[in-house]
Amino acid sequence: DATAALAFLRKVLGVDAGKIALVGHSFGGSLTLLLAEREPALRSLVVFSAAGYSWDRSPGLRARLLAALGHIQAPVFFIHAANDYSLHPGQAMDQRLAQLGKPHRLKIYPPIGSTPEDGHAFPLIGVKIWEPDVFEFLDSSMRK
C-alpha cells in the first residue's frame, strides 16, 4: 500500500517527484525505513519512535531494520521522547548510520507526560516541542 501511495503521489500535478520526504511513527516509522530501503529517490526521512515498543522484544525486527539502513540514501532524523518505551532503536540506528557514514540525526527530547505511553505518543502530544527541529531538518535535507 505504501509503495502504491508513493507511486500515486509522484504522479500528482504540482508534486515534485524528486522532493518527497516520508514521516512515520512507531510501526509506521519501521515501515518508513523499509520503504526507503527500496526507494532511493526519497529525499528525507523523519522517524518518530521507530520500533519503540518492539525493538527490545524482537531480534528479527532489529536485524531487519539495521540491515535496511545500508540501502537507505536519504538523510534520517530519529526522534524519541526520553520516556518512550525504549530509546534503543534510535540509538542503535543512529550508531549504525554513523558507521556507514550516512547523513542522520538523533534527538531524544525530555520526557513528556508521565508514562511510557505518553512518551511514545510524543509526535501527537508534543508537536510544539519537535516541530521547529523537524522543519529545520526537512528544510536542510530537501534543499540538497
- pLDDT digit string, tens, across residues 66-122: 999 999 999 999 999 999 999 999 999 999 999 999 999 999 999 999 999 999 999
For the residues 26-34, what does the mean pLDDT come to?
A: 96
DSSP characters for the chain?
Answer: -HHHHHHHHHHSTT--TTS-EEEEETHHHHHHHHHHHH-TT--EEEEESTTTTTGGG-HHHHHHHHHHHTT--S-EEEEEETTSS-SHHHHHHHHHHHHHT--EEEEEEPP-SSSHHHHHTHHHH-HHHHHHHHHHHHHHHHH-
Say whether pLDDT at 47 is over 70.
yes
The whole-angstrom separation of Cα 43 and Cα 23 is 11
pLDDT bracket for residue 1 (50, 70, 90): confident
pTM beyond 0.85, yes or no: yes
